[in-house]
């Protein structure tokens, strides 16, 4: 099953040049449809903007779901990729967009190969989602998909890496209410919301809590001028864990700390938390692991089963009842201006994907 490396890299370069920050994925969606148009597959765009393509099998077998997301993080507009030998980068002013356009390019190449070579394959569902990078929003509309197994091409690491465990993710917001006053004339009449927020943040358990659990404060907004005691500050953060009890305990501890510390200076707080996605653990799914083992052997890559601290569309597919793993697509240093990808890794990732299809 030879991979057309020139076609693969050209597709990837085409994709990263298409602006598709979260919420603006229409250009990528149109490109995918154009690339698959010669095969006349059944396609559907759902109300959320996700693209679903169904491919009839040429042999009997379990239905296989293949997925990648179409959006990128910021700054992702005006990407100008640079190819230096085997390595592809941006020009340093934007991300590259390998997350997740490498996965899209590899799926497209894989589909072209199975059609060109008449490779026998089971029924396939391709799901290209929107708004993955802003809290896996798009995939939530795909609960009606029905497949036996799934693979999301959306992680870094050596080719052959298969993510079988991912955490639950809780997002929290604390809105601290103080009292405004003139900072130069009557500061004693104010209650500084920034001070209240600072006391709470300083007391929070942050970073790596244990080998299953982490938390972070990532956004602080508040204040209007240096000569006004700030009356309101908003703090946003998150907590993640592979253990539901630990996550519940941690979020409640964070909530209690905010109330205790904020009220200690006379301010008040409104604390809310929202579940972004639920954990999954398919490390005990021997059918899926055996499939990956055979595919790795067929392509002569090491099989690297691992747990991750990140989330992906696979979290929701697993909740929907489709055992779904995440496999490496070759991307590196994602979400940074130093992002890179090697063409040779994209070729290996496509070969691994084809081996999975062949072994199902």
Residue-level pLDDT at 1: 60
For the question of residue 132 being annotated catalytic, the response is: yes
Q: 168-277 architecture in CATH? A: 2-Layer Sandwich (3.30)
Rounded to 10 degrees, the C-alpha dihedral 47/52/53/57 comes to: -130
- Predicted confidence (pLDDT) per residue in 197-208, tens digit: 999 999 999 999
Given the residues 25, 99, 106, 132, select the one marked as catalytic. 132
- 341 pLDDT above the threshold of 80: yes
pLDDT number for residue 14: 98
Q: How many CB atoms lie within 10 A of CB 83?
A: 12
Helix (H, G, I), strand (E, B) or coil at 149: strand
Sequence-ordered list of residues with C-beta below 8 angstroms from that of 299, at least 6 positions apart, any chain: 160, 348, 351, 352, 355
Q: Does 40 participate in catalysis according to the annotation?
A: no
CB 110 within 8 Å of CB 354? yes
Structure tokens at 114: 């199975």
Q: What is the DSSP letter of 242?
A: S
Q: Of 50, 48, 63, 132, give the one whose Cα is nearest residue 313.
A: 132
| pLDDT tens digits for range 247-278 | 999 999 999 999 999 999 999 999 999 999 99
Looking at residue 39, the DSSP 8-state letter turns out to be G
Pairing of strands 207-210, 213-222: antiparallel
Percent of the chain with pLDDT over 90: 99
Kindly state the average pLDDT of the residues 328-351: 98
* 175: pLDDT strictly greater than 70: yes
Helices assigned H by DSSP within the chain: 5-16, 26-36, 98-116, 193-203, 244-263, 286-299, 313-319, 343-359
Give the whole-number percent of the chain exceeding pLDDT 70.
100
CA nearest neighbour of 198 among 253, 248, 240, 257: 257
Hey, which bits of 46-167 come out as E strands?
Answer: 51-55, 64-69, 82-84, 87-89, 124-129, 149-155, 161-166
Looking at the predicted structure, is the pLDDT value of residue 104 above 70?
A: yes
Residue the block writes with tokens 């592979």: 242
Which one of 71, 261, 339, 351 is the catalytic residue?
71
Which phi and psi angles does 123 have, rounded to 5°? -60, 140
pLDDT tens profile 2-60? 899 999 999 999 999 999 999 999 999 999 999 999 999 999 999 999 999 999 999 99
pLDDT of residue 2: 86
Dist. CA 358–CA 120, nearest whole Å: 7
Lookup: tokens for 160? 């052959």
Q: Express each pLDDT in 346-355 by its tens digit.
A: 999 999 999 9
**What average pLDDT does the segment 326-355 reach?**
98
Q: Which two tokens stand for residue 232?
A: 């309101």
Q: Do residues 152 and 317 lie in contact, with contact meaning Cβ atoms separated by under 8 Å?
A: yes
CB 12 within 8 A of CB 20: no
Q: Domain coordinates of the chain in residue numbers?
A: 5-167+279-359, 168-277
**In the CATH hierarchy, which fold is given to the domain comprising 5-167+279-359?**
Aminopeptidase (3.40.630)
Concatenated DSSP letters of 154-184: EE-SSTTEEEEEE-EEEEEEEEEE-B--BTT
Query: What distance in Å separates the CA atoms of residue 328 and residue 284, rounded to the nearest whole number?
Result: 20
């Amino acid at each position: 099953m030879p991979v057309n490396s020139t076609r693969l890299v050209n597709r990837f370069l085409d994709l990263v040049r298409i602006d598709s920050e979260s919420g603006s994925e229409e250009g990528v969606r149109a490109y995918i449809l154009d690339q698959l148009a010669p095969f006349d597959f059944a396609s559907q765009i759902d109300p959320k903007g996700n693209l679903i393509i169904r491919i009839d099998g040429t042999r009997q077998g379990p239905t296989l779901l293949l997925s990648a997301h179409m959006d990128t993080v910021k700054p992702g507009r005006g990407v100008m990729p640079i190819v230096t030998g085997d390595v592809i980068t941006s020009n340093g002013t934007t991300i590259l967009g390998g997350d997740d356009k490498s996965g899209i390019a590899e799926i497209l190449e894989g589909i072209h190969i199975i059609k060109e070579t008449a490779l026998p394959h089971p029924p396939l569902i391709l799901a290209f989602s929107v708004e993955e990078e802003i809290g896996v929003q798009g995939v939530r509309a795909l609960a009606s998909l029905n497949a036996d197994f799934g693979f999301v091409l959306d992680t870094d690491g050596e080719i052959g890496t298969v993510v079988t465990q991912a955490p639950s993710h809780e997002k929290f917001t604390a809105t601290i209410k103080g009292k405004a006053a003139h900072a130069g004339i009557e500061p004693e009449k104010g209650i500084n919301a920034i001070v209240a927020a600072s006391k709470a943040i300083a007391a929070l358990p942050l970073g790596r809590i244990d080998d299953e659990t982490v938390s972070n404060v990532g956004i602080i907004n508040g204040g209007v001028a240096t000569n006004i005691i700030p009356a309101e500050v908003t703090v946003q953060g998150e907590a993640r864990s592979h253990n539901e009890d630990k996550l519940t305990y941690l979020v409640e501890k964070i909530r209690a700390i905010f109330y205790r510390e904020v009220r200690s200076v006379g301010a008040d707080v409104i604390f809310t938390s929202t579940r972004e996605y639920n954990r999954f653990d398919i490390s005990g799914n021997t059918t899926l692991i055996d499939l990956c083992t055979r595919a790795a052997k067929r392509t002569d890559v090491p099989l690297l089963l691992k747990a991750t601290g990140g989330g992906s569309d696979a979290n929701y597919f697993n909740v929907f009842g489709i055992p779904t793993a995440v496999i490496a697509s070759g991307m590196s240093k994602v979400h940074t201006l130093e992002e890179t990808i090697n063409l040779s890794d994209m070729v290996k990732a496509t070969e691994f994907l084809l081996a999975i299809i062949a072994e199902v």
